[in-house]
Amino acid sequence: MTTHSNTELQKSVNWKEHIELTLAILSGVLILGAWLISNNGDELFSIGLYVTAFLIGGYAKAKEGIEETIKNKELNVEMLMVLAAVGSAIIGYWAEGAILIFIFALSGALETYTLNKSHNEISSLMKLQPEEAWLIQEDGSEVSVPTSSLAVGARLLVKPGERIPADGIVQRGSTSVDMSAINGESVPADKRQGDELFAGTVNISGVIEMEMTKPSSESLFQKIITMVQNAQSEKSPSQQFIERFEGSYVKVVLVTVALMLFLPHFIFGWDWTTTFYRAIVLLVVASPCALVASIMPATLAAVSNGAKRGVLFKGGVHLEHLSSLRAIVFDKTGTLTTGKPVVTDFIVREGTSVEDALSLLAGIESRSNHPLAIAVTAYALTQEVSMRRDFDIEEVPGNGLRAFPPEGEVIVGSPRFVGIDDAKAFHSGSAFALAEEGKTVLFIKDQEGILAAAALQDVLRPEAIEAIQELKKAGLKTIMLTGDNEKTAKAIASQAGIDSYTAECLPDMKVKKVKELMEQYGAVGMVGDGINDAPALATATSGISMGEGTDVALETADVVLMKNDLTKLPYTIKLSRKMQRIVKQNVFFSILIIAMLIISNFMQIVDLPFGVIGHEGSTILVILNGLRMLNTTK
């Protein structure tokens, strides 16, 4: 869906909300005026006002009911309400029929308001997507063009303060980019030549040239919008059941009302006026308006709640499934951990300066693009240590690096490269023992022996421990599946507080383990971020992807944590469970009210005015109860 069509959709929903609410209020004012005039004895004029109230308040719902009946070739709740109001007028209960139309119109406006609230998330997202971009032409000049007209490979200019118009790569220049629209992080990210850019993020400082790498329809931002749209349009299993049930129920009500028009006269001896009156009351109180409204407003409100907090559901069905989960499976790298190694320990030889050793090691590693080398270089920068450059280096493939500073040859690498015996003996074996904690240990060796050792590890996300604890409090079992080795897996599982783990898992083994867990626990969620997680994400009851995950993981998952914040996972499950509680409350309450009103009608306890108030009042109450899902879940 394009920017234009989404904007038009939002305007349409807003306009519909205002129109429906205005007509409902106007209908109520006319009813009040008709009632006051009727009390003064002018019956004819009051009836005229009631008829006007019928037409104004009931037009939208009657039109909707007739169109749906013609389209589906099946009567619906709207038609029941129209028939009930007309029936009330026929037997002289103009006020009751008009009030029925008024409250029904008011509940309809309330439902439209709920829909509008859910569409606000799309509207706010759409405002972040630029509609124009500066296209760099072959002669180097720049021209403003619509983003929809851009093609992959286009060279674009982005000035300070402007939003990035498309997904792409920096070709020239450097800047800081506000990524909060994508990942929720308040700290801007530095972008240089070759770095990836995302549509909708904000260029803060420098002028950059970029190359567009994805069509606008396939940008990460557009995928987010599409996921929200799909979540709002896809109905949960409960909603689908209610809608199927509605058609059959309406038929049963109409048949029962038809029988009520004459059977009580012969069976119970009621006069014809009472018989017809009670049939009309039955038509009002037996309509399943509250039951029909029990689910959708709550679901839309929950989807909106999640989107506001960076959790995207691909449909109501997935939101409903989350409430049934009994176990959660986690991938390790990039999910429980940051996915990037960091230096956790740095040990130097006695009598050696930490700064000197780190300066030499970082200077050597700064010449390599290996992830471990990058981590060591980053560590030196955080320690504000300047890196030595007074030497040449030589890469030894599969082993490490060899450097030639003035003081003599130095080698950097694994224990095997520097000598296992020397590595084990260094610092009384404490450095080598760090490997038992699941860490990768790099050694630097000079002419005198081992100079220093750096232990690196893909560390836990800061929020991982809290998230695991919250999931356990919610009664879920936590399991980790990783392709990493046993030592690393054990260390991370222990740090995070995971209940159990399986190491050295290939993608097919992850699928097998998820299936086994589903047999054991029933409903199982899978949280991952990589291509290798996609099969398991598709297999699990609920697949949950990290927002920074691969495109495959994002496409396969049912739920996306856009801010990569694991604490949103227990929040999301609590949100789902709260929604299920509210839905159950609504269904039980609406069925109870319908049953009470039907029984009271047969016992001739409830009259039409109270039947109208009880029926339509319960509809409004279940909608308002559903709107509680917009509030933050504790």
- The residues annotated as belonging to the active site are 331
- Distance, in Å, from the CA atom of 247 to the CA atom of 237, rounded to the nearest integer, reads 16
CB neighbours of residue 391 within 10 Å: 16
Tokens of 244: 């199927």
Tokens 């296209």 belong to residue: 135
Half-sphere exposure at residue 6, Cβ-oriented, CA atoms within 13 angstroms? 21
Total Cβ atoms within 10 A of residue 183: 16
Handedness of CA 382, 386, 389, 391 (dihedral sign): negative
**Separation of alpha carbons 364 and 392, rounded Å:** 9
User: CA-CA distance, 48 to 53, in Å (whole number)?
Assistant: 9
Token couple for 415: 């224990």
How does strand 524-528 pair with strand 337-348?
A: unpaired
Kindly report the CA angle at 109 between 24 and 13, in degrees rounded to 5? 125
Reduced 3-state DSSP string for 87-120: HHHHCCCHHHHHHHHHHHHHHHHHHHHHHHHHHH
Token output for 343: 């230096």
What are the tokens at 179?
Answer: 């990524």
Strand, helix or coil at 234? coil
Identify the DSSP state of 427.
Answer: G
Beta-carbon contacts of 321 under 8 Å, excluding residues fewer than 6 positions away, are 523, 541, 542, 558, 576
Tell me the residue type at 208.
Answer: I
